[in-house]
Structure formats: structure tokens, C-alpha cells
Structure 1
Amino acid sequence: MSIAYLNGYPPETVQQVESLLQAQKLGPWLQKKYPDAHGMRDDRALFAYVQELKQQYLKGAQQLSKVLYDNKLQVVKNALGTHTTISRVQGSQLKAKREIRIAALFKDTPLEFLRMIAVHELAHLREREHDKNFYKLCCYMEPDYHQLEFEVRVYLSYLDSSEHGSVQRLWS
């Protein structure tokens, strides 16, 4: 069994996740660690949540014009969320609008998973590349960023295993 979402992690770690998956213990482990889903079911609540994080950690960054759940984001392409800048000509000026789109599958996850994705996308307001400064900023906004990123990848592996067998919905 190959777990694409865990490429780059130590083989022992990947083997542990594979063992839990095969023994059908990965879902219960995730549910025990994160028993509840967040309550942000619509784009308005998501926008308010991300805006609050931005105000707390990135006060001087450009304003966000839109934050929404996107049903079209394909996790297969490693896009859990996107940050885009859309430039429009208004009169003689060029106006830039910033948007964050988060994969709709994060409507039904724990707050910690949503926060990790939101922090990642917010960090792109200051740092374009996934470099040392980018991850330093992510960890400033969410000290457990790396652990949460790993556990989101574990969750995605769990979801991916549903193609090969039945997987129960963990949060709803």
C-alpha cells in the first residue's frame, strides 16, 4: 500500500499509518484525538474566522476580499486551499483583491485541521514561497503547525483508503 500524502516522511512513520489503516484503527484514532467538528458550515462564518486570525497575527497585511469553501479544489493535486491575487483595472488604477479558497472537505473536520489550512493560506499574504520564513510564520500563528499538517495528511490518507474499502465518516 502506498500513501501518497505521506511522501517525504520517514518510512517507519508511514508504516505505522499503513498498519493503522489496514487494521481499521486509523479512523477511531483520529476521532479519539479530535472528537468534534468545527461549526463553520458556510462561507460567512469561514470568512469571519479567517479574518479574526488575520487580525490577530497579520494586522498590516493586505485585506482579504473573499474567503470561501470551494467544492472544485482537488485534493489530489495537493490543493487543500488556495490564495490568489486578482488584479482588476478600475479607471486609471490597478486594484488587487486577495482571495482564500479552502477545500470543501474541511467543512466536516475538527477546528484544528481548518486552522492549519487557514494559517497556511494566510502565511501566503506575506511569504509567497514555501521556504523557511513561510514555515516560521505558520508556526508563529499555529505553534503545532507541523504536527497538524502531518495529521491532516493522515486524515487524507484515511479518506483515500475509502477507494479501496468502506470508510466511515468521522465528523459531520
Structure 2
Amino acid sequence: ARFEPTAAQVRETAHLAMVVAARLADGTEPADAELVRLARGLSDPRVRDILYALAVGAAAADAEALWAMMARVLPEPARPDVLVLLAFSAYARGDGPLAGIALEAALQLDPRHRMAAMLDSALQSGMRPEQIRGMALSGYRTAERLGVRLPPRLAFGQRAG
């Protein structure tokens, strides 16, 4: 049987990601135990949905820096989900080259990763970042349903701070 995290565990993982991202932005490296908890939490689609939403919010740059760091330090089996978070974040802000590199790496590690394949197809077909950002709405809905407070959404091209 597959482990199914409770709503409280999903909330805790999403909150941990935001806290760790903010601390990283202030120069504090995450503890190994925090990275393990985050990597494990990413196996739950509800957690991933919520974290995709960070790409269009006021803490987008902090979250993207965390995904980039995790993609460098996590062992290979744990990398695809975080690489896809990095790709989504880059794509949502209009950085197609970084999105493409992250998606290629994710698909090399897991050729059947559905979100990676979907984003790669969107990127290859020239879908605009504004359209991709709409996918984050699902994350906001999931967060609201589970009681997770996310940073406010920003319009495309709007910078936090």
C-alpha cells in the first residue's frame, strides 16, 4: 500500500518549503533533515500542486532558488519532481531556456514523468508563460481546501518586493 499523507502533513510540508525558501534567501542553508522531508513530501501530488503555485506568488524567486539548490544536492531518484518545480517556475517567469534544461534533466531521470512531459510539450509548441501560469490556480485551490496560506499572486511581469 502506498503511503498517503494526511492533510496536516501536506500543510506541514508546504509550510516547510516556504520557510526553508525564505531562510535560504536570507543565506541560511537548509538542514539535511529538512531536505529529506521536502523531497519525501514531493511524492504527494497535493504538495506538488501547492508548490507549483509558489511560482506565481510574491515568494517566487525564493522558491525557485530552493528548487535549484535541491536539484543540485538531492540524490537522483528524488530529483525529477524538484526539477519539474524548477522548470515550472522558470517557464512561468518567461525563462524558456532554464525550463528546457530542467525538463530535459527530469525526463532523463524519469521518462514517464507526466508533468515534465506536459510542460516539455507546452514549451516545444511555444505556449506562452502567461498560459502556463494559469496552471498554478489549481495549486491555490488545493492550498485553500487544505488550509495552506500562500503568498499573494502576482501578475506576469510583476516583481515581488
Q: What is the TM-score of this pair, normalised by structure 2?
A: 0.28
Determine which structure has the larger helix proportion and give its number: 2
Which of structures 1 and 2 has the bigger CA Rg? Answer: 1
Greater fraction strand: 1
